Chains A and B, each alone.
Chain A
């Protein structure tokens, strides 16, 4: 406490320290400048008034919200993808706020007033909030059940937690850093209180702290995850775009010590990617961290199978970078920011989860700053790949299947086969054409030759009678011949 007042003393004017109502007691910024007594009065009044107002507002906005929901089926999951839904998001946010204010009070009804509970029962629960509120209720129930085992300490913790949530409600307009600061202070105060006053052993404190984190962060999630007051969403889109632009990075460039040709290894890679993507779906910082840890374990397995030795950081970081590049996890920056701001610090500080989270931060930082040098490429190559003119994969088509799944691999094999067949087919066609041409040429050639010969040696047939007459005319000396022998009769 001494520290608290010391820190406060630096920044707060003396005049601001007195109760705003002027009762003479000291006020407290946490009670909006009132003293504890005046604050309780004011707060009670405001609370009643607000319940009334919220109720009216909720009815008025309900239709609006349902319309918004109809046009954005997947709701918050796709928020980061487009800015076009920005308006819808805003309206959602507005209505959500209203309903959770109700929920907020209905939760306190567990302890006391029945009135709020009836209100909640009557409240037509809008579709978008149903899921969330069911989860919130479940978590609250679990939390209470859990605290019951601690009897008096549990009760006190519950009181503190509720008080914290109520103060956080009034801090919603503060910057996210301030809200984060409050949460961190709260974690620390509760833990210290348990250790010093409650004399709770430290292992137990850790367990209780986990439950507290789960309880408060399930409730605060929608207000403090990727809040509109920050540029988290812009950063999300920037890194998403960056990863897309880097689609051509191969494991070889990053020197990833993982051989995906081994089916066991590629299974691990797929699992790691699934884990890192799953992170976005969790609400509690610790659950998000657990996703990162699971992802890391799968990476270690992949490295171990490939290299057959325990993975060092030299192996792990490049592989994690590769996984992030391949997975392009949704809302990466928002998730990292959210974990840093609202996770129980003792877990992030030195624990194993913290180590993997730090590596994820490193991976993201590396991806953001990555240049030609860090991939061992020439600047020209890097620029060409970035601009999409060429892809390193086309040049080394042999190596380009490792990241494809089996079906795709088969497809490329078949494509390859087809193109080979096509080539052969063309060759056959051209040869057939050649043959045809040869044949035609051959006939033509023969015909021409014959023609030539015919022309060269024209066939001349002399009239037959002429020659006959000639024969006769040649017999000129026939007369000189002795007369043919005449048959003679010899008397004998």
Chain B
């Protein structure tokens, strides 16, 4: 997977690798959502999975192979400031709120603002109203949520981890959108050369030095 990185890959047979972060307040059901998606389990006493904070899923969408890495984030307020460390270089973000909890929807709005500010439009946003099995106790109106999502260029989904509703669609849709973004990227960058910058994380890349050094080494040996 060496250079696949966030750029996915143009060459046939190479799989796309996407990083998706899960954001949302403590009890909105982020963990249940991914466990349902990756393990098809809900509050199961016999879950053998050791952890639900980093899960992967392999998909095949129209002949394109996708490796999805789902990063759970700590939702407690005290860790809010750490967000940027988590969502750096991610291709998609799933922002989860609890439809019975107005506050959790407010938190989602904060996240959206932050993500757009830090990552611009390169990241595919999904706003997810979870726990639709508790429709009677709904406190966030469907219309409000959907129109908000549209206004920020995100897609809105209704899910229930308990009843396994809407989850498959959510991830499939997100993957398709990420593939599109990756393809647009590739075309923009010209075929073949994947961008060196974005395949790296954490490194502050300072583009003010001649870049031929290591390439030079390669040239010489092959020539």
Question: Which residues does A use to contact B, with CB under 8 Å?
Answer: 1-5, 7-8, 10-12, 28-31, 36, 156, 159-160, 163-164, 166-167, 171, 177-178, 180-196, 202, 205-206, 209, 255, 297, 300-301, 303-304, 308-318, 340-341, 344-346, 348-352, 354-356, 358, 361-362, 365-366, 369, 373-374
Contact = CB atoms under 8 A, between A and B. Distances in A.
A311 B214 contact: no
Given A191-B2, A310-B50, A313-B53, 9 more contacts: A1-B215, A7-B211, A156-B221, A192-B2, A193-B218, A206-B2, A312-B53, A313-B22, A313-B71
Closest A-B pairs by Cβ, 9 of them? A191-B2, A30-B216, A163-B217, A313-B72, A312-B31, A340-B202, A317-B74, A186-B214, A30-B213
A367 B102 CA distance: 31
B118 interface: no
Of the candidates B26, B78, B193, B195, the one having the most CB atoms from chain A within 10 angstroms of its own CB is B78
B26 to A, nearest CB: 6
Given A188-B196, A349-B5, A317 B79 contact: yes
Contacts of A362: 74, 79, 82, 85-86
Interface residues of B, number: 70
Interface string B177-209: 000000000000010011110011111111111
Given A195-B2, A309-B47, A350-B17, A314 B202 contact: no
12 contacts: A29-B216, A196-B11, A202-B4, A202-B14, A310-B50, A313-B22, A314-B75, A351-B69, A352-B56, A361-B202, A362-B82, A366-B82
Nearest to B73: A313
Nearest to B17: A350
A355 B54 contact: yes
Contacts of B6: 349-350
B95 to A, nearest CB: 15
Given A7-B207, A369-B81, A316 B51 contact: yes
Contact of B19 (A189, A192, A350): A350
A178 to B, nearest CB: 6
B199 A345 contact: yes
B193 A163 contact: no
B98 interface: no
A29 B18 CA distance: 36
B63 interface: no
